[in-house]
């Protein structure tokens, strides 16, 4: 069989493995990746793709899963890649700026020669919204206006139906962690909706707390992320949405800031926050799982990653959207503080799913709100073109109803 090295000289973290994923998906080949490094001070969410078997990897590796329908494996050594290439065609992305081992290409090439494995090299160049093979000038993949990597060219921008706000910088969502934009686009396509995106700077919103930024939105998405400086602004957005009937969906950190918005209503704005964002705050809404146990005395994981199972509570909005036992990709070290749940429930929050034998709140909602639902996991990583996640579908349906009611 053969080893296919796909060179792509890009400094965009969201494109790590993208062109190689397109090659692998088009050919039906295997896909493996080597150790990579990123400037996480500049790009905090560059290594936030959750591997199904557990652990984190480059965020751009979501493209292989989306295009192939197969899970990404953890990073591999050169020997493991060469062993696999004995029996299958294996595509490997090579991005010089992100390589940890600069001699990995030489090791793969010499190792393949010694084992009698054919080596094919494809060099990729960016050409507008396409990725081309330098030697043949053929198009390997396209990138649409939502940043999705596709094997076919998408149509132009349709007339806009509604505007969705996403907390975070456009560059972060487009160039660092691309899965959130992609999952929204998947759901919009399934509903035949044309949406525009407005990016809401959480740092600026925390400073200004200007509601005019949000008033004409049809809905708002609160994403996950590793950068704690975004928490105050994202929580303020959640608080506005809670009080102003703005459809809201939260993913991982997004659910945490939604629950914290309810805690602000319960305990006061200055008194409650995530322990991760403010270790000295009086009331910690989310606390570390390390050292804690479930009801049976089993230790909780200090870091919950990979494919997990959550149990949806009966008679909740979420139970109408997904099955009673549902898979979800998880990546978190903190859980909703169980000691404050009764107080939050008194002020409108409802736990809609749990995991780890009930020890972790996996989803929340606010009954009576037009749509205020969050999941501790990462449903965006389960979304595909043609198979969007049901939570995002439900969110856009609520946003559409909100748009129609305000337009009439």
- DSSP β-bridge partners for residue 4: 91, 120
Higher pLDDT among residues 284 and 210, named by residue: 284
Question: Is position 156 within any domain?
Answer: no
Report how far apart, in Å, the C-alpha atoms of 137 and of each of 18, 28, 246, 406 are: 17, 21, 47, 49
**243 and 146, same structural domain?**
no
- Our measurement of the distance from residue 241's CA atom to the centroid of its chain's CA atoms, rounded to an integer in Å, reads 21
Which of 150, 182, 217 terminates a domain? The answer is 150
Question: Is position 107 within any domain?
Answer: yes
**170 and 144, same structural domain?**
no
Whether 160 shows a pLDDT value over 80: the answer reads: no
Asked if 378 is an active-site residue, the reply is: yes
Give the per-residue pLDDT at 56. 98
**Count: domains in the chain:** 2
Please compute Rg for the chain using Cα positions.
22
Which of 150, 177, 203 terminates a domain? The answer is 150
**Cβ proximity of 335 and 302 under 8 Å:** no
Which CATH number covers residue 180? 3.40.50.880
Give the per-residue pLDDT at 406. 79
CA distance 368 to 282: 29
pLDDT class for 408, splitting at 50, 70, 90?
Answer: low
**170 and 84, same structural domain?**
no
Whether 35 shows a pLDDT value over 70: the answer reads: yes
**113 and 197, same structural domain?**
no
Whether 157 shows a pLDDT value over 70: the answer reads: no
Instruction: Name, in order, each residue with C-beta under 8 angstroms of 112's C-beta and a sequence gap of 6 or more.
Output: 3, 82, 85, 118, 119
Question: Is position 290 within any domain?
Answer: yes
**Cβ proximity of 61 and 28 under 8 Å:** no
CA distance 299 to 289: 9
CA distance 353 to 376: 9
pLDDT class for 399, splitting at 50, 70, 90?
Answer: very high
Q: Which long-range contacts (CB under 8 A, 24 or more apart) does 128-132 make?
A: 131/8, 131/18, 131/19, 131/22
Write the pLDDT tens digit of every residue in 295-349: 999 999 999 999 999 999 999 999 999 999 999 999 999 999 999 999 999 999 9
**223 and 313, same structural domain?**
yes
**204 and 95, same structural domain?**
no
Give the per-residue pLDDT at 315. 97
Of 33, 95, 369, 378, which is the active-site residue?
378
Three-class SS of residue 198?
Answer: strand
Give me the phi and psi of 358, to 5 degrees please. 90, -5
Question: Is position 155 within any domain?
Answer: no
Of 65, 276, 365, 380, which is the active-site residue?
380
Q: Please give the span between the terminal C-alpha atoms of the chain, in angstroms, as a whole number.
A: 62
CA distance 9 to 326: 39
**397 and 301, same structural domain?**
yes
Give the per-residue pLDDT at 405. 85
Give the per-residue pLDDT at 210. 85
- DSSP β-bridge partners for residue 30: 90
CA distance 31 to 283: 46
Percent of the chain with pLDDT over 90: 94
Residue 112 CB neighbours (<10 A): 21
Which of 94, 129, 150 terminates a domain? The answer is 150
Report, in this order, helix, strand and coil percent for the chain, each rounded to 5.
35, 25, 40
Question: Is position 388 within any domain?
Answer: yes
**128 and 186, same structural domain?**
no
Write the pLDDT tens digit of every residue in 378-390: 999 999 999 999 9
Mean pLDDT estimate for the chain: 96
**89 and 232, same structural domain?**
no
Question: Is position 74 within any domain?
Answer: yes
**136 and 42, same structural domain?**
yes
**329 and 214, same structural domain?**
yes
Write the pLDDT tens digit of every residue in 189-245: 999 999 999 999 999 999 998 888 898 999 999 999 999 999 999 999 999 999 999
Which CATH number covers residue 55? 3.40.50
Range of the domain at 324: 162-407
Question: Is position 253 within any domain?
Answer: yes
- Give, as one character, the DSSP assignment of residue 186: H
CA distance 408 to 402: 10
Question: Is position 157 within any domain?
Answer: no
**355 and 307, same structural domain?**
yes
């Amino acid at each position: 069989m053969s080893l296919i090295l796909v060179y792509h000289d890009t400094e965009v973290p969201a494109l790590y493995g993208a062109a190689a994923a397109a090659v692998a998906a088009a050919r039906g080949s295997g896909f493996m990746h080597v150790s990579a490094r990123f400037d996480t001070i500049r790009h905090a969410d560059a290594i936030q793709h959750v591997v199904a078997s557990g652990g984190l990897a480059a965020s751009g590796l979501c493209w292989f899963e989306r295009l192939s329908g197969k899970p990404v494996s953890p990073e591999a050594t050169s020997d493991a890649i060469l062993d696999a290439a004995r029996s299958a065609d294996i595509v490997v992305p090579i991005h010089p700026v992100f390589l940890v081992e600069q001699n990995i290409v030489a090791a793969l090439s010499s190792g393949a020669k010694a084992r009698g494995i054919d080596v094919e090299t494809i060099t990729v160049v960016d050409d507008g919204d396409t990725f081309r093979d330098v030697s043949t000038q053929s198009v390997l993949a396209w990138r649409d206006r939502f940043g999705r990597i596709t094997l076919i060219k998408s149509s132009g921008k349709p007339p806009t139906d509604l505007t969705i706000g996403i907390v975070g910088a456009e560059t972060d969502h487009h160039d660092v962690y691309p899965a959130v934009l992609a999952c929204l686009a998947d759901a919009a396509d399934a509903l035949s909706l044309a949406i525009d995106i407005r990016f809401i700077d959480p740092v600026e919103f925390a400073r200004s707390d200007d509601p005019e930024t949000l008033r004409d939105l049809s809905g708002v998405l609160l994403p996950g992320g590793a950068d704690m400086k975004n928490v105050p602004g994202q929580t303020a957005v959640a608080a506005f949405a809670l009080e102003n009937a703005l459809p809201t969906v939260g993913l991982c950190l997004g659910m945490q800031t939604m629950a914290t918005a309810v805690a602000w209503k319960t305990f006061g704005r200055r008194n409650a926050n995530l322990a991760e964002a403010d270790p000295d705050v009086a009331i910690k809404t989310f606390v570390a799982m390390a050292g804690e146990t479930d009801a049976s005395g089993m230790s909780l994981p200090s870091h919950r990653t990979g494919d997990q199972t959550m149990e949806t509570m009966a008679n909740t909005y979420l139970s109408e959207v997904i099955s009673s036992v549902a898979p979800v990709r998880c990546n978190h070290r903190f859980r909703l503080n169980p000691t404050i749940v009764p107080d939050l429930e008194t002020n409108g929050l409802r736990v809609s799913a749990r995991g780890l034998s009930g020890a972790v709140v996996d989803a929340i909602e606010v009954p009576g709100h037009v749509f205020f639902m969050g999941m501790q996991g990462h449903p965006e990583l389960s979304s595909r073109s043609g198979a969007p996640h049901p939570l995002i579908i439900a969110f856009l349906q609520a946003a559409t109803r909100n748009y129609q009611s305000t337009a009439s």
